[in-house]
Chain A
Amino acid sequence: MHARRWLKDFEGTVLSRLDVHEIEKTLSGAQAGASAVLRAVTFSISDGECLGLKGSTGSGKTTLLRIIAGLLAPDSGEILLDDRLISSAKTQLPPAQRGIALVFQSLGLWPHLTVKGHLDFVLSATGLSRAEQEAHCANALETFLIRDLASRYPAQLSGGERHLLALARAFCTQTRLLLLDEPFTGLDSGLKSRVLETLAQERLRRNLTTLLVTHNDDEMRCLCDRVEHLSEGHIVTRSRKVQNTE
Chain B
Amino acid sequence: MRQPSKIDHALHVLLALALLAPLLIAFAGQGGFADAFGSYESGEPGFAAARKAALVAATGRSLLVGILATGMALLIGIPAGWALSEKSGGGLSRKAVLLLVVTALPLALPASVSVSGWVGLFAPAGVASRFNVPIPGFAPESRGWLFSEFGAALVLASSLWPIIALETWPGFRRSRNEAYEAALLYSSRGRSFLRIVLPQVAGEIAAGALLVFLFSSTDFSVSSLLLVRTLPTEVHDALMLGKTASAAWASMPLLLLIGIVAWLSVRVTRDNLPQDSPRDTREMPSGLIPLSVLSAGILLGFVLPMAVCFVQAQNTNKPLSVVFGAGTEALGSSLRIAAAVAVISIIAAIARTVLWPETRTRPINIASLFLLAIPGSFLAAALLAIELALSGTLNGTALATALPAATFAAALVIRFLYIPLRLVEEGLAALDPDLLDAAALAGHGRLSRAVSIALPLILPHILAASALVFIFALGEVPMSSRLAPPGLVPATVWLFQQQHMGYDEAVFGLSLLLGGVVAGVLLLCGTAALIILKWTDRARAPVVEGL
Interface residue ranges, A against B (CB under 8 Å): 3, 27-32, 35, 37, 57-63, 66, 69-71, 94-96, 98, 100-102, 104-112, 121-122, 125, 169, 173
The listed residue (B180, B282, B547) touching A61 by CB distance below 8 A is B547
Known: A27-B547, A32-B544. A108 touches B179 (CB 8 A): yes
Evaluate contact between A31 and B183: CB separation under 8 angstroms: no
Q: Is residue B292 within 8 Å, beta carbon to beta carbon, of the partner chain?
A: no
Stretch of B97-105, B188-196, B238-246 that contacts chain A: B188-196
Q: Is residue B542 within 8 Å, beta carbon to beta carbon, of the partner chain?
A: yes
Give the chain A neighbours of B91 by CB distance below 8 A. 30
Evaluate contact between B187 and A121: CB separation under 8 angstroms: yes
The listed residue (A29, A96, A109) touching B185 by CB distance below 8 A is A96
- A62 and B547 CA atoms in complex are apart in Å by 5
- A30 and B187 CA atoms in complex are apart in Å by 32
Evaluate contact between B182 and A169: CB separation under 8 angstroms: yes
Q: Is residue B181 within 8 Å, beta carbon to beta carbon, of the partner chain?
A: yes
Evaluate contact between A3 and B188: CB separation under 8 angstroms: yes
Evaluate contact between A29 and B544: CB separation under 8 angstroms: yes
Chain B 171-204 interface mask (CB, 8 Å, partner A; 1/0): 0000001111111111111010001100110000
The listed residue (B179, B191, B542) touching A110 by CB distance below 8 A is B179
Determine how close the nearest CB of chain A comes to the CB of B268; give it in whole angstroms: 16
In the complex formed, the residue of A with least CB distance to B89 is A30
Q: Is residue B541 within 8 Å, beta carbon to beta carbon, of the partner chain?
A: yes
Determine how close the nearest CB of chain B comes to the CB of A182; give it in whole angstroms: 11
Q: Is residue B546 within 8 Å, beta carbon to beta carbon, of the partner chain?
A: yes
Evaluate contact between A121 and B195: CB separation under 8 angstroms: yes
- A178 and B543 CA atoms in complex are apart in Å by 28
Known: A29-B542, A106-B280. A173 touches B186 (CB 8 A): yes
In the complex formed, the residue of A with least CB distance to B192 is A96
Determine how close the nearest CB of chain A comes to the CB of B119; give it in whole angstroms: 44
Q: Is residue B284 within 8 Å, beta carbon to beta carbon, of the partner chain?
A: yes
Determine how close the nearest CB of chain B comes to the CB of A35; give it in whole angstroms: 7
Evaluate contact between B546 and A62: CB separation under 8 angstroms: yes
Evaluate contact between A111 and B200: CB separation under 8 angstroms: yes
Evaluate contact between B547 and A125: CB separation under 8 angstroms: no
Evaluate contact between A60 and B547: CB separation under 8 angstroms: yes
Interface residues of B in 80-124 (CB under 8 A from A): 89, 91, 93
- A112 and B282 CA atoms in complex are apart in Å by 20
Give the chain B neighbours of A63 by CB distance below 8 A. 546-547
Evaluate contact between B178 and A108: CB separation under 8 angstroms: yes
The listed residue (B196, B540, B547) touching A37 by CB distance below 8 A is B547
Evaluate contact between A102 and B547: CB separation under 8 angstroms: no
- A107 and B177 CA atoms in complex are apart in Å by 11
A62-B546, A108-B178, A108-B181 provided; 20 other pairs, C-beta below 8 A?
A3-B187, A29-B543, A30-B542, A31-B541, A35-B544, A57-B547, A59-B547, A63-B546, A69-B181, A69-B185, A70-B185, A96-B185, A96-B187, A105-B546, A106-B178, A121-B186, A121-B187, A121-B195, A125-B188, A169-B182
Give the chain A neighbours of B182 by CB distance below 8 A. 102, 104, 108-110, 169
Give the chain B neighbours of A100 by CB distance below 8 A. 185
- A147 and B219 CA atoms in complex are apart in Å by 54
- A227 and B2 CA atoms in complex are apart in Å by 50
The listed residue (B186, B200, B280, B546) touching A96 by CB distance below 8 A is B186
- A13 and B282 CA atoms in complex are apart in Å by 32
In the complex formed, the residue of A with least CB distance to B195 is A121
Evaluate contact between B186 and A122: CB separation under 8 angstroms: yes
Give the chain B neighbours of A66 by CB distance below 8 A. 181
| Residue in A29, A96, A102 whose Cβ sees the most chain B Cβ within 10 Å | A96
The listed residue (B177, B187, B199, B280) touching A125 by CB distance below 8 A is B187
The listed residue (A35, A96, A109) touching B184 by CB distance below 8 A is A96
- A to B CB contacts below 8 Å, 17 in the list: A3-B187, A27-B547, A30-B89, A59-B547, A60-B547, A62-B547, A66-B181, A71-B282, A96-B184, A98-B185, A100-B185, A108-B177, A112-B199, A121-B187, A121-B195, A121-B196, A125-B188
The 4 A-B pairs with the shortest beta carbon distances in the complex, nearest first, are A30-B541, A108-B178, A108-B182, A104-B178
- A32 and B540 CA atoms in complex are apart in Å by 11
Give the chain A neighbours of B184 by CB distance below 8 A. 70-71, 94-96
Determine how close the nearest CB of chain A comes to the CB of B460; give it in whole angstroms: 19
- A125 and B282 CA atoms in complex are apart in Å by 23
Evaluate contact between A95 and B547: CB separation under 8 angstroms: no
Give the chain B neighbours of A71 by CB distance below 8 A. 181, 184-185, 282, 284
- A106 and B280 CA atoms in complex are apart in Å by 9
| Residue in A62, A98, A110 whose Cβ sees the most chain B Cβ within 10 Å | A110
| Residue in B185, B187, B540 whose Cβ sees the most chain A Cβ within 10 Å | B185
Give the chain A neighbours of B282 by CB distance below 8 A. 71
- A57 and B542 CA atoms in complex are apart in Å by 18
Determine how close the nearest CB of chain B comes to the CB of A99; give it in whole angstroms: 9
- A1 and B289 CA atoms in complex are apart in Å by 19
In the complex formed, the residue of A with least CB distance to B184 is A95
- A140 and B370 CA atoms in complex are apart in Å by 52
- A95 and B188 CA atoms in complex are apart in Å by 8
Evaluate contact between B177 and A106: CB separation under 8 angstroms: yes
In the complex formed, the residue of A with least CB distance to B280 is A106
Give the chain B neighbours of A111 by CB distance below 8 A. 179, 200
Evaluate contact between A112 and B93: CB separation under 8 angstroms: no
The listed residue (A60, A105, A112, A125) touching B186 by CB distance below 8 A is A125
In the complex formed, the residue of A with least CB distance to B546 is A62
- A27 and B183 CA atoms in complex are apart in Å by 23
Determine how close the nearest CB of chain A comes to the CB of B147; give it in whole angstroms: 43
- A35 and B543 CA atoms in complex are apart in Å by 12
Give the chain A neighbours of B93 by CB distance below 8 A. 30
- A151 and B187 CA atoms in complex are apart in Å by 22
- A30 and B90 CA atoms in complex are apart in Å by 10
Give the chain B neighbours of A27 by CB distance below 8 A. 544, 547
- A59 and B547 CA atoms in complex are apart in Å by 7
- A96 and B546 CA atoms in complex are apart in Å by 22
- A37 and B188 CA atoms in complex are apart in Å by 28
Evaluate contact between A110 and B183: CB separation under 8 angstroms: yes
